[in-house]
Amino acid sequence: MKSLLSVLSLVLMSSFAHATEFRCTIPSQEDWAAEINLSNRQAAFFDNDSWTVLNEVPNFHWNSTLDFVKFEGRDRSGITIAITMDQRTTWVPFFMISFTDSLQTLELPMSCREVTQLRSGI
């Protein structure tokens, strides 16, 4: 059993370590989606009718291994959207999306998986 868990753990770590494209869902918002393309240094957020493209925030990496990356942009209504991918403490990245207007910030965790084709065109 221990060896099976070790193999599964290694496979999971390997796939995330080399992944460059992710599709994400926001568990509390079934109509929303997000995508990340590390090769293009962009992310995109879908809010039920259109995609908002987010660009990588320059010099925001923890280091050159892409273990902490932030993407940011504004939607049509002026709300700032930020997506972060944090892999500093574990091999499996933690994904978060935040929405900020002039009064408040809402942060939500995302569930992401590696994909081979993105719907957003980024």
List, for residues 41-70, the tens digit of each pLDDT value: 999 999 989 999 999 998 665 455 667 889
Q: Are 37 and 20 in contact (CB under 8 A)?
A: yes
Give 20 or 73, the one with higher predicted confidence. Answer: 73
Average pLDDT over residues 100-116: 95
Q: Which of 60-69, 87-96, 104-113 has the lowest mean pLDDT?
A: 60-69
pLDDT higher than threshold 80 for residue 2? no
Tell me the HSE value of 11 on the side-chain side, using a 13 A CA sphere. 6
| Strand 94-100 to 80-86 pairing | antiparallel
What is this structure's pTM? 0.79
Report helix, strand or coil for 84.
strand
